[in-house]
Amino acid sequence: MKTIVFAGTSIGLEEAGKLSSATVHGPVKRGDVTQAVKQGYELIGIIDGIFFHRAAVGHREILEALRKNVTIVGGCSMGALRASEMDRHGMIGVGKIYEWYRDGVIEDDDEVAVATNPDTYESISAPLVNIRCTFLSAMNEGIISSVQEAFLLDIAKATHYSLRSYYGIIKSARDKEVLDEQTASCLLGFCRDTEVDIKRKDALAVLYRIKEFYL
């Protein structure tokens, strides 16, 4: 099957290409799926996509591709959003983030949105889904309490997606005296060294699902 994968932020293009044996492209935007269908792609993987500063990939173009028997697999970021909205029409959703959107555990686009380097697509802010998982892990490790975790998430949610960072969130909590200096320092080290990168895990899940079509 002629295959294309839209990635670059949650997982690098080179790695995505190696793992999927597909043509790789940067984050999907409006019109890219239509163009891929015109170019004869039979299998489309959507991981990363454009969110707010340009038109996002449209539901109608995905639906039209599905009607033409093109297989579309989505997860992780924009892929998870669109899969949760289009799975009833045949789009294949993969991964934990897709399940969260599908089940209403999370709802907002900014849960997966990040600021990126326009030349490399590399993320330069922290996605809220990763922040949620990492603070939950820190709570389970006894570094922070459930009350502190909830407060930290409130700060993260109130911060614009392009400005989210573990340092900024923890500093704000320290300034508000929700965390003492020792706890803040310990938490920052934990986030730096053991971040739960759920977006990368789900990006890999999309690529592995695509490879199954070749077996």
Indicate whether 40 and 90 sit together in one domain: yes
Indicate whether 99 and 132 sit together in one domain: no
Q: Over the stretch 39-91, which tens digit does the pLDDT of each residue have?
A: 999 999 999 999 877 899 999 999 999 999 999 999 999 999 999 999 999 99
Q: What is the CATH number of the domain that holds 99?
A: 3.40.50
Write out the residue range of the structural domain in which residue 55 sits. Answer: 1-119+197-210
Q: How does the average pLDDT of the chain come out, rounded?
A: 96
Indicate whether 182 and 202 sit together in one domain: no
Indicate whether 138 and 59 sit together in one domain: no
Spatial contact of 95 and 87, defined as CB atoms under 8 Å apart? no
Residue 182 lies in a domain: yes
pTM value is 0.94
Q: Over the stretch 160-202, which tens digit does the pLDDT of each residue have?
A: 999 999 999 999 999 999 999 999 999 999 999 999 999 999 9
The count of domains in the chain is: 2
Indicate whether 138 and 49 sit together in one domain: no
Residue 215 lies in a domain: no
Nearest partner of 35 among 16, 57, 52, judged by Cα: 57
Q: Which residues contact 189 (CB under 8 A, 6 or more apart)?
A: none
Instruction: Measure the CA–CA gap between 141 and 82, rounded to whole angstroms.
Output: 34
Indicate whether 6 and 74 sit together in one domain: yes
Nearest partner of 82 among 44, 37, 116, 118, judged by Cα: 44
Indicate whether 108 and 144 sit together in one domain: no
Indicate whether 25 and 47 sit together in one domain: yes
Indicate whether 188 and 201 sit together in one domain: no
Residue 84 lies in a domain: yes
